[in-house]
């Protein structure tokens, strides 16, 4: 198995006629993902490469049987594009777009929970189940199929960790970038639970960073409900408080969200926390 | 009252908010306040306002609680300059309500229920409901991440008055509101940080000796952590971002090189959307145009890695594939530098 996506997952690309959308539609197909079409309002009937373009998600779902959608839609239009996907019959939405206002995400978060639609992101690199399917923008070739589940708030730092794993012949079941924003559709806990229940996954790597208390909450969940081995790395130990380090999420404020507290909470939950990404393979 | 206008808290305690009773006193006090800095923010503007006869100080704020994934109203009958300490020591004095994500038409009624425990009588509560409703409208309409009134002063005349307020706008929502963009104050940032913003880079000055250029915030922070672990310290945080553009690399070099403490530049790129050949191109342009005298350590891997590495190798630059190797090499350079 693997989580969220596999060989059978049928994917549409929202914003397929844009520069990033068309580039990554092709890259995903090359990787082996079943990309079955795309959506750009007003451009229905065209083709991008071999892929049909539809005006609406509903139309695309009816014609192609897609269950999953990946969004390369500009931030201004992304919230409504996500809503359209949820209402159009998509059960897994991956939003690559960054820059969505937090209030939009507050509304969307509750709306999607009610509709029982899974959103990964926004502001994330996506999902890959190596050797099966890639619904994201990560370089596919650094991955290897295997038994390690990877969950991360970061993009390139995830690549770093995956590269270190693959170099040591530790393949991955699924890697999920949950996104760097303060509010994301799917958090650590949902994914820890999925990995715990996934047969292919033997151990889990959790990559966190400063800001918020999601890592602390993940730690208490691990203590209670995760029996598989978990290894973690937290970035931002040296970041000064009150300064925004790029991501909307990576900021230490009001004494909360520092790396030290996260590392302590994870260690207390029995997680091995390492100092450098390249030390993760040995800890596994 | 004379109040120093700075974009930070703790003004009262720093002596930047003072009472005066004559024009003469106002002049000399104004001069004194204009000489003060509050948490490194020099006071450059003053607000002169009527003196309120305050009976009680309340606290009201609307913000996003990222854990609850909800907009929350925070109310306290113990407002004023010590609110942060109240929050820690007497947390029972602070009431917190989640505002449902679909605003109901009976919001005023809900508010009345929520607020009635914090305000002593109905008339005051009714005023507070009005104020909180306005705060909420502002919060929603202008994409705020914080609207805070502290103190919400109860005057001797029985009025509730916003005696001080703080509003934080969401960076991601700001484009929708040109009226708010106009209010932005460039003095919040250092010159380097402003130049970086203009170039589309995310940059924060730090005090160390290794200049960092990395793609992605998480990897950039991990690089800083790695430098510290290897016994040196980073001169900055710099995320060149996800897009692929040699010009951005050139701009990043310009900003880094302004720092005279710099002993070495460490470039750590893991190409995804970013293509290594674009980065290599930017590095070569910088070398040709900027007369760089400090060593450059390059780690390049990911999309179009081979092209990028070949371009740099042909120009005599050495490239590694491993982050830890690059960090160690950069730290070695700082040590060699200090010996000579």
CATH of the domain at B76: 3.30.470.20
In a domain, B186, yes or no: no
Q: Judge if ipTM > 0.85.
A: yes
B98, B204, B222: best to mutate for the A interface, most A CBs within 10 A: B222
- Rounded Cα gap, residues B37 and B42, in angstroms: 4
Every domain range in chain A assigned CATH 3.40.50.720: 10-120
Average the pLDDT over each of A41-45, B32-36, B186-190, B285-289 and give the range with the smallest value. B186-190
Mean pLDDT of B16-35: 92
Element (H, E) at A156: helix A156-167
Give me the torsion for CA of A215, A119, A227, A220, rounded to 10°.
Answer: 30
User: Residue B298 pLDDT > 90, yes or no?
Assistant: yes
Average pLDDT score, chain B = 89
Task: Give me the sign of the Cα torsion angle B71, A191, A244, B255.
Answer: negative
Q: Are residues B199 and B135 both part of a single domain?
A: no
Taking the Cβ of residue A1 and every Cβ of chain B, the question of whether any pair is shorter than 8 Å is answered with no
> Nearest CB to B219: which of A103, A154, A210?
A154
- Rounded Cα gap, residues A25 and A11, in angstroms: 10
Is the domain A138-283 a CATH 3.30.479.30 member? no
8 Å CB contact of B218 and A209? yes
**Which residues have C-beta within 8 Å of that of residue B310, sequence separation ≥ 6?**
none
Q: Are residues B196 and B306 both part of a single domain?
A: yes
> Nearest CB to B222: which of A137, A163, A277?
A277
**CA distance from start to end of chain B:** 58
Taking the Cβ of residue A220 and every Cβ of chain B, the question of whether any pair is shorter than 8 Å is answered with no
User: Residue A119 pLDDT > 70, yes or no?
Assistant: yes
Mean pLDDT of A31-41: 97
- Of B40-44, B145-149, B272-276, which has the strongest mean pLDDT? B145-149
In a domain, B310, yes or no: yes
Q: Are residues B134 and B14 both part of a single domain?
A: no
Q: What is the pLDDT of residue B322?
A: 96
Q: What is the pLDDT of residue B104?
A: 65
**Which residues have C-beta within 8 Å of that of residue A189, sequence separation ≥ 6?**
A217, A218, A221
Q: Are residues B152 and B201 both part of a single domain?
A: no
Indicate the pTM of the whole model: 0.90
Q: Give B-chain residues touching A163 at CB under 8 angstroms.
A: 270, 301
Q: What is the pLDDT of residue B175?
A: 86
Q: Peptide bond before B151: cis, by omega within 30 degrees of 0?
A: yes
8 Å CB contact of A245 and B221? yes
User: Residue A185 pLDDT > 70, yes or no?
Assistant: yes
Q: Are residues B9 and B137 both part of a single domain?
A: no
In a domain, B238, yes or no: yes
Residue of B193 and B188 predicted with greater confidence:
B193
In the structure, what pLDDT confidence band is assigned to residue B340 with cuts at 50, 70 and 90?
very low
8 Å CB contact of A156 and B70? no
- Rounded Cα gap, residues A169 and A218, in angstroms: 27
In the structure, what pLDDT confidence band is assigned to residue B274 with cuts at 50, 70 and 90?
confident
Taking the Cβ of residue A142 and every Cβ of chain B, the question of whether any pair is shorter than 8 Å is answered with yes
CATH number at residue B195: 3.40.50.261
Every domain range in chain A assigned CATH 3.40.50.261: 138-283
Q: Do residues B79 and B179 lie in contact, with contact meaning Cβ atoms separated by under 8 Å?
A: no
The boundaries of the domain holding residue B76 are 54-181
Q: Are residues B114 and B153 both part of a single domain?
A: yes
Q: Are residues B99 and B44 both part of a single domain?
A: no
Looking at the domain that runs over A10-120, which CATH code has it been given?
Answer: 3.40.50.720
β-strands B144-155, B160-162 pairing: antiparallel
Q: Are residues B39 and B116 both part of a single domain?
A: no
Q: Are residues B241 and B172 both part of a single domain?
A: no
Number of domains observed in the structure of chain B:
3
In the structure, what pLDDT confidence band is assigned to residue B242 with cuts at 50, 70 and 90?
low
Q: Are residues B68 and B160 both part of a single domain?
A: yes
Taking the Cβ of residue A139 and every Cβ of chain B, the question of whether any pair is shorter than 8 Å is answered with yes
**CA distance from start to end of chain A:** 20
CA-nearest residue to A213 within chain B is B67
CA A242-A257-B189 angle, to 5 degrees, is 15
User: Residue A241 pLDDT > 80, yes or no?
Assistant: no
DSSP annotation string for B21-68: -SHHHHHHHHHHHTT-EETTEE---EEE-PPP-EEEEEEEEEEEETTT
In a domain, B231, yes or no: yes
How far B70 CA sits from the closest chain A CA (Å)?
6
Average the pLDDT over each of A37-41, A221-225, B190-194 and give the range with the smallest value. B190-194
User: Residue A76 pLDDT > 70, yes or no?
Assistant: yes
pLDDT tens-place string over residues A50-75: 999 999 999 999 999 999 999 999 99
Q: What is the pLDDT of residue B102?
A: 67
In the structure, what pLDDT confidence band is assigned to residue A28 with cuts at 50, 70 and 90?
very high
Element (H, E) at A48: strand A47-48
**Which residues have C-beta within 8 Å of that of residue A213, sequence separation ≥ 6?**
A256, A257, B67
In a domain, B145, yes or no: yes
Given B146, B181, B216, the domain boundary residue is B181
Q: Give B-chain residues touching A243 at CB under 8 angstroms.
A: 204, 237
Mean pLDDT of A205-228: 95
Q: Are residues B197 and B294 both part of a single domain?
A: yes
User: Residue B92 pLDDT > 90, yes or no?
Assistant: no
How far B226 CA sits from the closest chain A CA (Å)?
7
How far A239 CA sits from the closest chain B CA (Å)?
7
Q: Give B-chain residues touching A278 at CB under 8 angstroms.
A: 322-324
Q: Do residues B232 and B179 lie in contact, with contact meaning Cβ atoms separated by under 8 Å?
A: no
Q: Are residues B172 and B230 both part of a single domain?
A: no
B206, B221, B234: best to mutate for the A interface, most A CBs within 10 A: B221
Percent of chain B with pLDDT over 90: 59
Question: Catalytic residue positions of A?
Answer: 247
**Which residues have C-beta within 8 Å of that of residue A128, sequence separation ≥ 6?**
A5, A31, A134, A135, A136, A138, A140, A143, A172, A174, A175
> Nearest CB to A103: which of B170, B214, B272?
B170
């Amino acid at each position: 198995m693997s989580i969220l996506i596999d060989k059978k997952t049928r994917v549409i690309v929202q914003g397929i006629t844009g520069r990033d959308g068309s580039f990554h539609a092709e890259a995903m197909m090359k990787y082996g993902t079943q990309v079955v079409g795309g959506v750009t309002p007003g451009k229905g009937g065209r083709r991008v490469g071999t892929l049909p373009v539809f005006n609406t998600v509903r139309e695309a779902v009816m014609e192609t049987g897609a269950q999953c959608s990946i969004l390369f839609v500009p931030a201004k239009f992304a919230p409504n594009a996500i809503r359209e996907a949820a209402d159009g019959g998509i059960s897994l939405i991956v939003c690559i777009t960054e820059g969505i206002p937090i209030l939009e995400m507050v509304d969307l978060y509750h709306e999607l929970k009610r509709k029982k639609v899974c959103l990964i992101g926004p502001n994330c690199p996506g999902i890959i189940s190596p050797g099966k399917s890639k619904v994201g923008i990560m370089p596919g070739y650094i991955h290897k199929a295997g038994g390690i589940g990877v969950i991360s708030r970061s993009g390139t730092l995830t690549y770093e960790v995956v590269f270190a794993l693959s170099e040591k012949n530790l393949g991955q079941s699924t890697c999920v970038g949950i996104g760097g924003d303060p509010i994301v559709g799917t958090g650590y806990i949902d994914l820890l639970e999925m990995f715990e229940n996934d047969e292919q996954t033997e151990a889990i790597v959790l990559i966190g960073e400063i800001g918020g208390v999601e890592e602390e909450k993940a730690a208490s969940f691990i203590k209670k409900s995760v029996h598989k081995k978990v290894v973690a790395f937290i970035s931002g130990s040296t970041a000064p408080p009150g300064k925004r380090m790029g991501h909307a999420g990576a900021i230490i404020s009001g004494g909360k969200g520092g790396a030290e507290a996260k590392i302590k909470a994870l260690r207390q939950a029995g997680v091995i926390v390492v100092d450098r990404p390249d030390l993760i393979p040995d800890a596994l | 009252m004379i109040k120093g206008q700075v974009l930070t808290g703790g003004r009262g305690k720093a002596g930047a908010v003072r009472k005066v009773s004559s024009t003469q006193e106002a002049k000399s006090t104004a001069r004194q306040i204009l000489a003060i800095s509050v948490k490194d923010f020099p006071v450059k503007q003053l607000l002169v306002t009527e003196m309120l006869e305050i009976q009680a100080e309340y606290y009201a704020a609307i913000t996003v609680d990222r854990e609850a994934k909800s907009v929350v109203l925070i109310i306290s009958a113990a407002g004023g300059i010590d609110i942060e300490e109240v929050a820690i020591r007497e947390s029972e004095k602070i009431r917190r309500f989640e505002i449902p994500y679909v605003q109901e038409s009976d919001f005023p009624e809900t508010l009345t229920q929520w607020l009635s425990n914090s305000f002593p009588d109905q008339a005051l509560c009714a005023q507070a409901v009005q104020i909180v409703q306005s705060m909420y409208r502002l919060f929603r309409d202008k994409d705020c991440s914080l609207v805070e009134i502290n103190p919400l002063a109860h005057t001797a005349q029985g009025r509730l008055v916003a005696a001080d307020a703080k509003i934080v706008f969401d960076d991601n929502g700001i484009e929708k509101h040109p009226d708010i963009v106009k209010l932005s104050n460039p003095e919040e940032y250092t010159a380097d940080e402003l130049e970086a913003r203009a170039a589309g880079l995310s940059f924060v000055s730090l005090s160390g000796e290794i200049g960092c250029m990395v793609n992605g915030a998480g990897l950039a922070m991990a690089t800083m952590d790695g430098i510290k672990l290897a016994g040196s310290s980073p001169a900055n945080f710099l995320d060149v971002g996800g897009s692929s553009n040699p010009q951005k690399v050139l701009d990043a070099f310009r900003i880094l090189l302004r720092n005279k403490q710099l002993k070495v530049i460490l470039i750590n790129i893991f190409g995804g959307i970013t293509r290594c050949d674009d980065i290599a191109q930017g590095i070569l342009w910088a070398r040709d145009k900027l007369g760089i005298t400090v060593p450059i350590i390059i780690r390049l891997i990911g999309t179009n890695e081979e092209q990028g590495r070949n371009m740099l190798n042909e120009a005599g630059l050495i490239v590694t594939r491993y982050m830890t190797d690059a960090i160690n090499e950069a730290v070695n350079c700082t040590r060699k530098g200090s010996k000579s």
